[in-house]
Amino acid sequence: MDVNSSGSPPAAVSSRDRRLLPLNGLRHLEVLARCGTLQAAARELGVTHGAVSRQLRLLEERAGAQLVDRQGRRLQLTAAGRTLAARLGQVFDDLGDTLAVVAQGQADARLRIGSTPSVTMTWLLRGLESFRRTRPTIELELVNLAPASTELPESLDLAVTFGSPMDARTRRIDTLYRENLLPVASPELLARFGAPKSPAEILTLPLIHDRHRHWQRWSHQEGVDLPEGMASLYVTDAYQAIEAARLGLGVALADGLEIAEHARAGKLTVVSERGLSGDRSIELVSRLGATRRDASVGLALHLKTFIREQRHGLLPARPPQ
C-alpha cells in the first residue's frame, strides 16, 4: 500500500464528496472483477496493463484500503476489493437501467406486480404510492402470490418473492433485504403489563404466533422455554400479526422493515433489540432483455431506492453473544 510523505496511509475519500470520487479507478476495478484477469480487463478498457494497474493504485490511495493482491503480473481481489466490486456491479446495472428509461422515453403502461399479502400490506403499497407521484399515468395491477411460490405467472412484470423462483434463469433477481425479526408491541400493552427487562419476561406476555413458528426459534436462540398455557393469538400471515400487535393483542415477532412505519408513528414499540435473523431473503424479480417494459425498469429502480431509504436506521438483529 502506498503511503504519503508522513509515512501514514492516505486518508480515505469522503463518502459524500462526489467531486473526489475516483470514477476511472472504480470502473477499472469493476471490469477487472468481471473479466477475471489483468489482460482481459485491459482489452475491454482499450488500455495497457500498466494503465489498469495505475488506476487501481490510485483507487487504493483514495479508498485507504488494499483492494488487490499483487503476485507478479497476476492480480487478485482482496476481501475489500470483492466487496467493492460487487457493489459496483449493482450500481452500474442500475445506471444502465436508468439510461434505458431515459433513452426510450416515459411511455404510459400497465404493470402487473405480484407479491405476498404481507409484503403488499406492510410496505409495497407505500412504495407504489410514492412511485405514482412521479409516474401518475401508469396503471398498476397487484396480484397476490402465495408466500411459498416457486413459479411465477408469465404475465407479471415485477414480483416480490421470498427466495428466488424456480425459473430464476429466465428473470433478473435483485435481493432487496433479508428478514430481521424483532419483538414488537403496542405502547398500550406495555403500559398495561410493564416493559419486560429480559427474554424470559417477554415470553410471559401474550404472544402472537403466525404459521412460521418464529417464537419457538426465538426462545430456543435465547435459551428460554416457551411457557405453556399462556393466552396466545394465532394468525396466518405476518401482516395480521403486526396489526394484532398494533391493536394491543400481544407481542409479535415481525420484520423490522414491515413495522418501520408503525414504529416511527409511535404505534408499535420494539420490545428488545435481541432479534432473530430470518432464513429468507426478499427478492425483486423482473423480466430479462427485450421482454422488459420501460416502466417496469423505472419501478424496479424506485422500489430498490425506497427499500434502502426505509431500512436506514432500522435496528439490526442482535442474537446472543
**Which pLDDT tens digit goes with each residue over 230-273?**
778 999 989 999 999 999 999 999 999 999 989 989 999 999 98
d(CA 6, CA 57): 18
CB atoms within 10 A of CB 62: 17
Q: Which of 72, 85, 80 is nearest to 36 (CA)?
A: 85
* CATH number given to 179-278: 3.40.190.10
**β-strands 74-77, 233-234 pairing:** unpaired
Query: What is the number of alpha carbons within 13 Å of residue 35 lying toward its C-beta?
Result: 17
What's the pLDDT tens digit per position in 266-321?
Answer: 999 999 988 898 777 899 998 875 455 667 888 888 999 999 888 776 654 443 43
Domain formed by 18-102, architecture: Orthogonal Bundle (1.10)
Backbone angles phi, psi at 65, to 5 degrees: -150, 150
**β-strands 158-162, 110-115 pairing:** parallel
Place of cell 419483538: 183
Domain ranges in the chain with CATH number 3.40.190.10: 106-177+279-311, 179-278
Residue 6 pLDDT level (bands cut at 50, 70, 90): very low
* 203 pLDDT more than 50: yes
d(CA 106, CA 117): 29
Maximum distance among all Cα pairs of the chain, rounded to whole angstroms? 73
CATH superfamily of 106-177+279-311: Periplasmic binding protein-like II (3.40.190.10)
